[in-house]
A and B are shown apart, each in its own frame.
Chain A
Amino acid sequence: MSATAQIRDEPVTGAAAALLAVNNIEVIYDHVILVLKGVSLEVPAGGIVALLGANGAGKTTTLKAISNLLGAERGEVTKGSILFEGSPIQALTPNALVRRGVIQVMEGRHCFEHLTVEENLLTGAYTRADGRAAVQRDLAMVYEYFPRLKQRRTSLAGYTSGGEQQMCAIGRALMARPKMILLDEPSMGLAPQLVEEIFETVRQLNQEKGVTFLLAEQNTNVALKYATYGYILENGRVVMDGDADSLRQNEDVKEFYLGLSAGGRKSYRDVKHYKRRKRWLT
């Protein structure tokens, strides 16, 4: 275990600098299924933070708990608190949250299929009240970051490619002028080159527009390349966190998330060993 990446043993206390602080939340679906068992994380203003983990680890649930989209799926946060800019946001509707500057881009894009690309983008500006001119300016800005969307502006979003839909979904979120975007699995089903392109744009948006990102990714490799900090979720718990660099150097992360290992192929016994070790540490 490298020196900087540490195994978490207690929840973080909300530091003043954090834009978003999730403190020890528990999420239960349908009143019975415990999905998150005390997740804590912090996202600094202007950062790109990655939430890593396998299928079913709780990444999406964490994001939806923050954006308050759990209600529609009969999930609820039963413990803990979520602070945005220092004030609790659990009680806010998604509508109010978008107005506050937190917007989610859902897993699997979820573009409005029967609306054109441009109409999709404009729905992102639904909560805004600063006038048509400002919205048009931002539309031009989105087209600048995603020139491909400009070419496809009049086609129905349902007929565009997966990459274009992902761009459309991110562009749509941008139209709300968010402080923070919760990006769920942007690489899903996309060619590696496109994934790089999208992450490159995310970095640009982060640097040029100051948008903070919290992104859930299975593609650990790409995520840690662009993120500044990472959390690793397993079975509804944060099992490890650290700077992107230190996570990349960590032996366990290398082995089980990046698929790199010094000692050639691993056997099932090693995995069991890892799991046992982890149980000790959590």
Chain B
Amino acid sequence: MGDFTFFLETTISGLMTGVMYSLVALGFVLIFKASGIFNFAQGVMCLFAALTLVGLMEKFGLPAWLAIIATIGVMIVLAWLIERFVLQYMVSQSPIILFMATIGLAYVLEGVGDLMWGSDVKLLDIGLPQGASDWMLDNFNIYVEKLELVAGVVAAAMVAVLAVFFQKTRIGRALRAVADDHQAALSVGISLRTIWVIVWSVAGIVALVTGIMWGSKSGVQFSLSLIALKALPVLILGGFTSIPGAIVGGLIIGVGEKWAEIYVGSLVGGAIENWFAYVLALMFLLVRPQGLFGEKIIERV
């Protein structure tokens, strides 16, 4: 029994880490879908959002809910600024140039974040439940962090909302149209600039949620921006254009990492967790380069 419980705990812990990866990957997918830009700054956006949130709470003494709303506002303004000063001039440039622009953006954001709120590690406490879940412990005799359960629920809710937004609303339809064919979207009167602001805003809000979850778990610090690198294998696994792909990919990587560390790691001296994801991604690139859920290139016969 003990072994099985341990296995379950490992799995659940892996799933919850995976949810975090999924959230970061989600931000990537949104922007990639709508503008074909691989947004290197997504990780830094998480850091920036979390920093802003902590800063607003600490320096101005705002209550958590107000600070969250204000931060959402900041992320929307940021999206607008990015469109106004960067993307607008980059239409019809090649993807690599856009990618470079987002690298630049990442450093600018990081600097601005540091400048405004300082670079020391900060605690983020917006009143999310901490500690072990007694209910899980009592009923299933499994140790699970409450925070991780909350993260799981929040991620699920966010995906559901995004799915409805993309499938059912006029703006969502326009977003998918832009993802399919920029030129045609322009020709029917969809304003790319508006769409870009919207999609970067949504990605900013996703970044904020990620920042809150991750920050509550391990504090707000520079390493937050590095989880973006973990999102890379997630994207390769799930497919760059698929929202469900980002979720499933994140979960697979999260669980896979933990399993590998515990069941294989001991055989080779440990520390598998850090590179397991990349090896998995590499294997996927060889076998199924479009990812698990990547959009098939439609070809009529």
- Interface, chain A (partner B; CB < 8 A): 67, 69, 71-74, 93-95, 97-99, 103-106, 110-115, 119-120, 122-124, 126-127, 156, 158-159, 161, 172-173, 176
Contact = CB atoms under 8 A, between A and B. Distances in A.
Nearest to B191: A95
B91 interface: yes
A114 B190 contact: no
A99 B189 CA distance: 8
Interface stretch (B1-9, B171-179, B257-265, B276-284): B171-179
A74 B92 contact: yes
B184 A111 contact: yes
Contacts of B173: 115, 119, 122-123, 126
A95 B190 CA distance: 6
B300 interface: yes
A103 B190 CA distance: 11
B187 A106 contact: yes
Contacts of B91: 71-72
Contacts of A73: 92
B189 A114 contact: no
B298 interface: yes
B134 interface: no
B182 interface: yes
Contacts of B187: 67, 69, 94, 103-106, 110
Given A110-B181, A113-B181, 14 more contacts: A71-B91, A72-B91, A97-B189, A104-B187, A110-B184, A112-B185, A114-B295, A115-B180, A119-B176, A122-B170, A122-B173, A159-B298, A172-B188, A176-B189
23 contacts: A71-B91, A72-B92, A72-B186, A94-B187, A94-B189, A97-B189, A98-B189, A99-B189, A103-B187, A103-B188, A104-B187, A110-B187, A111-B184, A112-B176, A112-B185, A114-B176, A114-B298, A115-B177, A119-B176, A120-B177, A122-B170, A156-B298, A159-B300
A161 B300 CA distance: 8
B183 interface: yes
* Chain B residues touching A, range: 20 to 34
A190 to B, nearest CB: 14
For A74, A110, A127, the residue with the greatest tally of chain B CB atoms inside 10 Å of its CB is A110
Contact of B189 (A103, A156, A159): A103
Most buried by B among A98, A119, A126, A159: A126
With most chain A CB atoms within 10 A of its CB, the pick from B170, B187, B298 is B187
Nearest to B176: A115
Nearest to A135: B170
A275 B188 CA distance: 39
A126 B180 contact: no
Contacts of B295: 114
Contacts of B184: 106, 110-112
A105 B188 CA distance: 8
A72 B181 CA distance: 12
A69 B183 contact: yes
Nearest to B91: A72
Interface in B66-95: 91-92
Contacts of B180: 112-115
Contacts of B182: 72
Given A113-B181, A113-B298, A127 B92 contact: no
Contact of B183 (A106, A156, A159): A106
Given A95-B190, A127-B189, A159-B300, A112 B181 contact: yes
Interface in B215-245: none
A163 B179 CA distance: 23
* Max chain A C-beta neighbours (<10 A), residue from B173, B181, B184, B298: B184
B188 A126 contact: yes
A119 B183 CA distance: 17
A112 B298 contact: no
A50 B268 CA distance: 74
Nearest to A156: B298
Interface string B91-115: 1100000000000000000000000
Contacts of A126: 170, 173-174, 188-190
